[in-house]
Chains A and B, each alone.
Chain A
Amino acid sequence: MNKYIEINVSHDFTDAPGARNPQDGPDSGEVFYNRLLLPKFEEALKTKSILLVDMDGTFGYATSFISESFGSLSMKFGPELVLKNIKIKSDEDDGLKTYIKSTIKNPEKA
């Protein structure tokens, strides 16, 4: 039985995520990565848990936000480790889950 650590983007971060960097405006992918995604992923690795990222409840995402946050995580830990220890939930945008996974698989493309 897997243990889960959860990030709910709309609840824990914002319901209106921004673009790539803080220079692009507030609530950027970089801020999300540094404030939530990276520490929670490290915690998940330490406690041998799965990081569940709930993407629902926001107005939508910019691809720059996704590439900066999930792409950076993949660059730091490698696609295999990230994909093994992360689970994406997106019931409101069915295609988003696939898009994030492909960003993790090819972070340099993003």
Chain B
Amino acid sequence: MKKRYYVLLIMTFTTGLYLGFIFKNVPFFELNTKIDIVAAGNLLLVLFLALLIPLYVTDKLGDKRSEKNLLIEELVILCQKLERINNFLESRADQTFSAEDFIKTLSLFKSARQHLWSIETALTQLEQTEVTNQTNELKKKITAYWESVTGPKGIKKNDSYTLKRTFLFSLHLPYEHTQSHARKLKFIINKA
């Protein structure tokens, strides 16, 4: 994009030089020296816009903007799903965590994980290395959060199990890492 811009700039400048040369030296043309400066400015502005619109605006419009917006919306939904898991666990702090709560937590994780994996193809189709790398990183973070909650030290499907507040403190970091990576990915997609 930048290369095209510089080439165009050089071409415009060179054409200007040639035109100046022709007007000055070729006898069939007579230059009117009493030019209306506003009219000349308007002409230049029109020419400038005529070049700018196809080069800059059209490129921006065709820049997968709608796909990017959709993907960002999907990431917002993912963040909400993660927040739902966190809020649900927090609501059970220092309380008995029933088998039903255990199943609900697994189901929420399944939904959040599948959400990310389902948009992965669309994310990689943006063909941006940074987006692909960050998507893989987000997959690792969400898996690490899942492991922290449901791993050997995590929740049990046992009606006598209590979800201790100290255990919930240990989940803050993996949860926050996942959320912050999702946010980072949104910014990267927006800039891509």
Residues of A within 8 A of B (CB): 16-20, 23-28, 59-65, 67, 92-96, 99
Contact = CB atoms under 8 A, between A and B. Distances in A.
Interface string B170-183: 00000000000000
Nearest to B111: A60
Interface in B74-125: 99, 102-103, 105-110, 113-114, 116-118, 120
Contacts of A17: 106
B150 interface: yes
Given A25-B99, A25-B157, A67 B114 contact: no
A95 to B, nearest CB: 5
A92 B110 contact: yes
A60 B152 contact: no
Interface of B: 99, 102-103, 105-110, 113-114, 116-118, 120, 139, 143, 146-147, 150-152, 154-159, 161
Contacts of B118: 94
A24 B154 CA distance: 10
A63 B103 contact: no
Given A16-B106, A63-B146, A93-B113, 6 more contacts: A16-B103, A19-B102, A63-B151, A64-B150, A64-B154, A93-B117
A59 B147 contact: no
Contacts of A95: 113-114, 116-117, 139, 143
Given A19-B157, A95-B117, A60 B139 contact: no
Contacts of A94: 114, 117-118, 120
8 contacts: A19-B156, A60-B106, A61-B110, A62-B151, A63-B150, A64-B150, A64-B151, A94-B114
A67 B143 CA distance: 13
A59 B106 contact: yes
B156 A93 contact: no
Contacts of A27: 157
